Structure 1
Amino acid sequence: MLEETPPLLLPEEAIAFFRAKGIAFGFDWRDVWQEEHAKAFTVAKAMSRDLLEDIRQAVDDALVNGTTLATFREQLTPLLMARGWWGRSLETDPLTGEQRVVQLGSPARLRTIFDTNLRSAYAAGRWERIQRQKRVFPFLIYESVKDGRERPEHGAWHKTILPVDDPWWDTHYPPCGWNCRCTARPANQRMLDRRGEKVTDQPVRFPQKDYVNRRTGEITRTERGIDPGFSFNVGKAYLDPLSPKPMPGQPGEGDATAAADLSADAEKVLKRLLRPFELEAGEIQRGKIWRDATGWPFAIGAGLFRSPRGDLQLPNRSQLRRYELGLAALARPDTIRLVWVRDKTGRMMLMRRYLAGTVAFDIGRAGWRTTPLRSAGGGKIVWQR
């Protein structure tokens, strides 16, 4: 019997997304723009790593422990005050050189930091689950809170029902603005029939306008009801950091490429490594859900080669062929096994092992690695060509 209620989001999914972010400094909230927020943690005017790490740790604790806003404020406020990051202060804008009186820490700012980061992390976690379940739950239902405090546009989008892969979700997957409380709920045809609901022929549309980011010069065309900086699908953008990371002993540190950028040389190497997965334009950096021969899903993209800090770790010239063969084995294996391996601490880890050619590719929650085929025996065969 087909399941009637989609499984609940596991907190670990949202936590994994948040912890995979790098660090970015921005004096103005527009300095880190759109999808860049999915790659890096930032707080406007928090211009030192120690300060950002304090705030980041508090958000992490809130995700892990289900901390309330009141507790979040209570724990973080004295830390920010001790660092002198509280109240109004005369600061120099590094972009313009202008000195301005700006707001640093405050109860209102802590609420925004808490709300935006938690909602985005859970939305990204849901999207990963939505992608894995879309063969069973192929539709999404836009749901607004409808308590009289919602934006009129969000209220008009309430009960919009479209396929998961409809491009409307590229710009309308919640959150769609500051303090947006909307969600997107998975559904299947049986659920819609039972409730007398139908797929939407044409979503309600509102006028669009161009928004110019005066900090970066970027022009974004945004529909009314979607705040500037929110006109993207946080779940799709989050696929990059969702990718398993290189395990110790895998590719060495590259050029510390920022999480939001790819140099021409880095993109050339990544295209070569990821060729077996046939990524479309933009998917190398953004990532996409790819399924192996058994249907097991992975996020494939540049995120496979990012360190926990968000820097690229690309193989050097002597390593390149080894990893190229390993990824080819992942894409087109001769055999897939489940194997238990021991990490450097002695902890046992269950991994999926893909064997083809002369290299085996191991991948699991702890990350991924390549292994010479001669030392990659054992385990339980779960698929064979």
Structure 2
Amino acid sequence: MPIYGDKPFKQAIDYLQQKIPLPTNGWADVHGKQHDHAFMVAGANKTAIVEGFSNAIQAAIQDGETLHDFRKRFDSIVEKHGWDYNGSRGWRSKLIYETNIRQAYNAGREAQMAEPGFQELFPYTEYRHSGAENFRPQHKAWDRLVLASDDPWWGAHSPSNGYGCKCKKFPKSERAMKRLGKTTPDTAPADEYKEHLDKLTGELKQVPLGIDPGFEHTPGQSWLRHSTPQFKEQWPANAKPIPIGPAAKPALPTPSMAKQSDLLPDDLPEEGYVNAFLNEFGAEGPIVYKDVLGEPMAINDYLFRSANGQLKVSKDKLRHRYMRLLARAIKEPDEIWSILEPDHSRPGKYRLKRRYIKRWQMEESGQQAHGFSAFEYGQGIWTGNTIFTPYSKKQGQRVPERNAYLERQREGVLLYRKTDDTKQ
């Protein structure tokens, strides 16, 4: 029998289905509320692996598949993709299965409790410890704690509160409060905090003791933000995040050398620039190209076509000149970033982008040109747009913008970084 019974749970299923599979290098790549929109498995840095596990978890919660069933799928995914995971098979498969199903269940319950009129009937909520023998002391201390359902304390303490945590919370009515011998809710306990360095943002965050980093949020809260009143986070003055600057990002590798002859002239037809890009892949027609991580992408002229099918090669700021270098950014990237961002055309939805970054230094002039390509993934199709570092005019002269522009492109999950001794 599955972890929460064998009946389909619509809200939990909806929560899982809206998640986007996000490749990562480790558990710290996705933090807090990002889990409401991204499905990740720590260390699974290929889209196909993450999609496989996403489908397996959805099958478990939709069809009532057990941990035994999931382990069969786990073995198949590992064998097919040659995934080298950490830990034993039994421990890792159980962690993936239980963590994702439990949080989907919790998010589904939060969705039910956010329905109109629910808090009117159940204005209080009780924290219940799981009764596990090996327990976190803070979780045990919170057992039987009853607070107002809209108490800000729940914003960071709603179960699950860590890996392996089986705590739950239960809504309580006025009548239930009387049975508990209470006339008013309890007072939220004061928290102590531990420091956690967010490797993505470079912030030193304060996480309440007893809660694993990344779990200090209400499951599904940001997923329901369009219809659910938000808990207002209330942190003590001495517990606010402390920015530590961009030091968390690794330095980019040394720029690669490029020749002036690599640049294209200004008078080619649009097809000429597109063909120059395709020729870098040895392609005369559409091909499926696998990048340095083994991720497939479609390489064809549709990367440069507008919605109506017309070729569109941007000539503003001379980007068209760099089409060969653009292709080499995909073939021999300095870095590959995976970015989850809101889809403004579909409120409440997110989309996944994969960004390839490479720097060049022009041999003859010593001039640096920063380039990157951003490919957006959706429904199994890669589409893309391409950008090169623009130039600004200053006192009538063209000068490169500072590194700030490039640094803004280095965001999300860093999936790949070339070292200076990487052979390409």
Do they superpose with TM above 0.5? yes
2:153 to 152, 168, 172: 168
After TM superposition, give the deviation of residue 231 of structure 1 in Å: 1.0
Contact in 2 for aligned 1:240/1:302 (Cα 8 Å): no
State how 1:291-370 maps to structure 2 within 5 Å.
302-303=347-348, 306=349
Change (3 A) 1:127 1:35: same
Identity %: 29
Letter in structure 1 aligned against 2:112:
R
State the partner residue of 2:124: 139
Q: Distance in 1 between matches of 2:78 and 2:184?
A: 48
Contact in 2 for aligned 1:31/1:216 (Cα 8 Å): no
Change (3 A) 1:163 1:104: same
Change (3 A) 1:190 1:10: farther
For residue 185 of structure 1, give the secondary structure of its aligned residue in structure 2: strand
2:220 to 235, 240, 244: 235
Contact in 2 for aligned 1:120/1:234 (Cα 8 Å): yes
Structure 2 residue 29 is the aligned partner of structure 1 residue 14? no
User: Deviation string for 1:182-216 (max 9, x for gaps)?
Assistant: 11101111111023245443233342122112354
User: Deviation string for 1:115-154 (max 9, x for gaps)?
Assistant: 1111111111101111111111111111112243321110
For residue 195 of structure 2, give the secondary structure of its aligned residue in structure 1: strand
State the partner residue of 2:82: 84
Contact in 2 for aligned 1:20/1:241 (Cα 8 Å): no
Change (3 A) 1:312 1:204: farther
Change (3 A) 1:41 1:184: same
State the partner residue of 1:327: none
Q: Distance in 2 between matches of 1:204 and 1:70?
A: 40
User: Deviation string for 1:78-131 (max 9, x for gaps)?
Assistant: 3321221145xxxxxxxxxxxxxxx28833221111111111111111011111
If the length of structure 2 is used for normalisation, what is the TM-score? 0.51
State the partner residue of 1:72: 70
Letter in structure 2 aligned against 1:71:
D
If the length of structure 1 is used for normalisation, what is the TM-score? 0.56
1:189 to 165, 174, 179: 174
1:29 to 27, 30, 36: 27
After TM superposition, give the deviation of residue 76 of structure 1 in Å: 2.3
Gapped regions of structure 1 (runs ≥ 5): 1-8, 88-102, 244-251, 253-257, 271-300, 314-385
User: Deviation string for 1:294-343 (max 9, x for gaps)?
Assistant: xxxxxxx940xx26879899xxxxxxxxxxxxxxxxxxxxxxxxxxxxxx
State the partner residue of 1:128: 111
For residue 108 of structure 1, give the secondary structure of its aligned residue in structure 2: helix
Bigger Cα Rg: 2
Contact in 2 for aligned 1:156/1:204 (Cα 8 Å): no
Contact in 2 for aligned 1:86/1:104 (Cα 8 Å): no
Letter in structure 1 aligned against 2:188:
P
For residue 32 of structure 2, give the secondary structure of its aligned residue in structure 1: coil
Letter in structure 2 aligned against 1:73:
R
User: Deviation string for 1:38-61 (max 9, x for gaps)?
Assistant: 111111222222221111111001
Q: Distance in 2 between matches of 1:302 and 1:199?
A: 39
State the partner residue of 1:49: 47
State the partner residue of 1:220: 205
Q: Distance in 1 between matches of 2:201 and 2:131?
A: 35
After TM superposition, give the deviation of residue 69 of structure 1 in Å: 1.4
Contact in 2 for aligned 1:137/1:186 (Cα 8 Å): yes
Gapped regions of structure 2 (runs ≥ 5): 1-6, 229-306, 308-337, 354-375, 379-424
State the partner residue of 2:93: 110
Contact in 2 for aligned 1:157/1:203 (Cα 8 Å): no
- Superposition RMSD on alpha carbons, in Å? 3.2
1:156 to 134, 141, 147: 141
Q: Distance in 1 between matches of 2:52 and 2:119?
A: 37
Change (3 A) 1:200 1:216: same
State how 1:277-296 maps to structure 2 within 5 Å.
none
- Displacement over 3 Å in runs of 4+: 197-201, 240-243, 258-263, 307-313
Q: Distance in 1 between matches of 2:50 and 2:88?
A: 12
